[in-house]
A = this chain, B = another copy of it.
Amino acid sequence: MSWRARLRELGVDLPPVVAPIGSYLPAVRSGSLVFTSGQLPVIAGEDLATGKVGAEISPEEAQRLARACALNTLAAVDALVGLDSVVRVVKVVGYVASAPGFTGQPAVVNGASDFYGEVFGDAGVHARSAVGVSELPRGVPVEVELVVEVG
């Protein structure tokens, strides 16, 4: 089954790629690797939420936002090389805008990691860093960047 068919099976529509906020691209290929830009929790040009995780944003909501970021990374990969050329997910970095004292970044970023697993199965597991940052663009709570291997 193709990854696109798997997305349909999951009932997930691949959104249009999110326009960069500057002079860069949603994703770039070099050799067999595709690097995406950090993706925000945006749908149809609207930020899904703003605020810090552990204050205005609950960890559960942040997990859903991380999934939305991950979906946008796949849209960026798809627009560049076609989702079905993905051989495996390689690396994920999840940046979590964290209220003072919030240390649950791994559970938040699992919203992205679990989604890659749902779509790609064994090819979706990846190396990952999850860190808590003080501020993210436009005040969104989560940003996710992705490296995939393509064939």
Residues of chain A touching chain B, judged by Cβ–Cβ distance below 8 Å, are 20-28, 30-33, 35-38, 88-93, 95-98, 100-107, 109-110, 113-114, 116-117, 125-139, 143, 145, 147, 149
Contacts and interface: CB of A to CB of B under 8 A. Distances in A.
A126 to B, nearest CB: 5
Contact of A149 (B30, B110, B135): B30
Copies in the complex: 3
Given A26-B127, A31-B33, 6 more contacts: A24-B127, A35-B147, A98-B134, A105-B135, A129-B145, A131-B135
A131 B130 CA distance: 13
B133 A28 contact: no
A18 to B, nearest CB: 12
Nearest to A23: B113
